[in-house]
Amino acid sequence: MTTPALLPLSGRRIPTLSPGAASFPHHRATLRLSEKFILLLILSAFITLCFGAFFFLPDNSKHKRFDLGLEDVLIPHIEAPKGAKHPGGQVVIHGQGDHDEHRHREEEESLRDKIRADHERALQEAKEKLSKSRDELRAEIQTEKSKVLEDLKKEGPKPLPPVPMPKVVGVNDGDPGEPDIKEKRDKIREMMKHAWDSYRQYGWGHNELKPLAKKGHSTNIFGNSQMGATIVDALDSLYMMGLHDEFKDGQEWIEQNLDFSVNAEVSVFEVNIRFIGGLLAAYYLSGQEVFKVKAVQLAEKLLPAFNTPTGIPWAMVNLKSGVGRNWGWASAGSSILAEFGTLHMEFVHLTYLTGNPAYYQKVMHIRKLLAKMDRPNGLYPNYLNPRTGRWGQHHTSVGGLGDSFYEYLLKAWLMSDKTDTEARKTYDDAIEAIERHLIRKSNGGLTFIGEWKNGHLERKMGHLTCFAGGMFALGADGSPDDKAGHYLQLGAEIAHTCHESYDRTVLKLGPEAFKFDSGLEAVAVRQNEKYYILRPEVIETYWYMWRFTHDPKYRQWGWEAAQAIDKYCRVSGGFSGVKDVYSSNPTYDDVQQSFFLAETLKYLYLLFSSDDLMPLESWVFNTEAHPLPVLHLANLTLPGSQGQR
């Protein structure tokens, strides 16, 4: 038998004992379920008595009980006499006063009889319950619980309003033409199949896979739940690669098993970009309604995270209780820029698909709040306190903690069919400040993006920061002051630097972070920065640079990375990260990250495909590489928006 839910009594929650305990304890805090049930019945009978007593009082002609105009609520089945005002008013048909008063008394008497009968019935039911054994009461409670659950299942999710499907183009094929490039693309598909099949065999339903231990794996970003993160994250990659049987397996699991009513504390950011982004992309690619429905169900579970004094969401939320909090390590209880700033794309699509303005309003509120705040040197610090609305420590980064905030400003503009000019202006201003304060050239001529910490530039760049090369290239067209060529060049320089971070290792795979001082350039110094966990950011930049320049070196660099991953990260049970890219005998971390299937392999596949697969005029990729279609909103106003977008 499942343990019944805790029942509230006098504003407190009374815990239940285990079903096997032998006797009733006397202490209030350890009341058994049957006792609570009886107490509630007696309480309800008492309330019924009190309510009934109100009507048993002697009639007083000076104090009419129905002069408040509430009779339609209390006794809706009684109609006012024809030609009369509401009870308590004057009767206007002459000669009917006595008749109406008599009828009124009869109705009151009838109501008293009904309440008296209900009262008697409630007392009788309470007596019957008291005469039943503990096991009988438990069985009744379980039956009632099961009935409620069945009724809820029958109700099902609310139907979503019909909205026009955005025009989707280039969702499959993308044959590159050249046989050698096609061969490389086929190899990437084979790597995807190995990663998926291994997960399917050893970790199915778990969030991720431990490919050496050959069992499921999960991290604290998903709480203690088994929500199949790898399945949701991989769906659109499978679809693009033409692995439709695998896609169908994933869809079936989602239809039958993906449940968000779990008692799990999850990262709002990670669940948004992986789950909501992944489900929306799968919906737009395949047209299967289940993905849209699941995305909306999950989004509703994330909304309580925004219940803060400022509207800046908590980093984590419990999917069942809706209680939110921030990471303990984040500057004095702050929320993180890259987390609360990486919701816009998905939430705008949620409003588009549901007609519910809440999603759009919440992300626009964040943007408006940030616009009002002072920014040191024009830079956005990585930490913001959701209670006070003040910045935390002044640390600015285009890598971890900050990265995708800037990406989503640019992509909000692109996704709006370039009509969200506010987002574009905010992006341009932010990039100008980043160029002025964070971007430098090393002694060896490598362009890098450092990190600003309390007025000092740290000459260190993270693997995560390497996505920025692709971002600069993507944002080149439309940049102010005819600087398109400048930003395309800047993207190329970042791509070159990040390639060097790969090339200067033994495994030809990039470290987590690398320095540019003390004569060392583009190499990791600390042991805890020498690992590679199957990250996609460098390959992501190669792909964007390929799309905008068609310089063959980007395909060459991508192929070098693919070969290194296949050689050093592939194991019999999937793919694993490695702990030291400078060691010829690396040890594995034994984790196949879900983003390896969502991003790394997808970007490699796109790199060796033709440009008509997922054309950038029609699709914008979220920060987890999930493609969402451009919304042509010229003739459409999103609910809650000011005027036309």
Alpha helices for 10-80 (secondary structure H): 33-56, 71-74
Active-site choice (208, 236, 339, 537): 537
Contacts of residue 526, defined as CB under 8 A and 6 or more positions apart, other chains included, come to 513
- Name the residue among 366, 488, 493, 483 with its Cα closest to residue 432: 483
Place of tokens 């029942």: 7
CA–CA dist 593, 104 (Å, integer)? 74
Is 403 marked active-site?
yes
CA–CA dist 427, 218 (Å, integer)? 35
User: Helix, strand or coil for residue 359?
Assistant: helix
C-beta neighbour count of 216 within 10 angstroms: 18
Active-site choice (407, 428, 512, 589): 512
CA–CA dist 577, 567 (Å, integer)? 12
Contacts of residue 395, defined as CB under 8 A and 6 or more positions apart, other chains included, come to 331, 381, 382, 383, 401, 451, 452, 453, 454
Is 512 marked active-site?
yes
C-alpha torsion 341→344→346→348, nearest 10:
160
Asked if residue 24 lies in contact with residue 32, where contact means CB atoms within 8 angstroms, the answer is yes
Active-site choice (208, 246, 265, 403): 403
CA–CA dist 190, 79 (Å, integer)? 75
The annotation places the binding site at 623
**Cα angle: 334, vertex 296, 367; to 5 degrees:** 40
What's phi and psi for 230, nearest 5 deg? -65, -35
Place of tokens 């993180």: 336
Asked if residue 411 lies in contact with residue 341, where contact means CB atoms within 8 angstroms, the answer is no
For the packed helices 277-286 and 344-354, what is the interaxial angle rounded to 10 degrees? 50
Place of tokens 């470290």: 511
Lookup: tokens for 636: 């459409």
Alpha helices for 57-178 (secondary structure H): 71-74, 97-131, 134-155
DSSP state of 557: H
Contacts of residue 433, defined as CB under 8 A and 6 or more positions apart, other chains included, come to 375, 377, 378, 379
Total residue length of the chain:
645
The annotation places the binding site for Ca(2+) at 623
CA–CA dist 374, 406 (Å, integer)? 17
Strands 513-517 and 619-621 come out as unpaired
Strands 570-571 and 324-325 come out as unpaired
Active-site choice (208, 265, 270, 624): 270
Is 183 marked active-site?
no
Is 270 marked active-site?
yes
What are the residue numbers of the active site? 270, 403, 512, 537
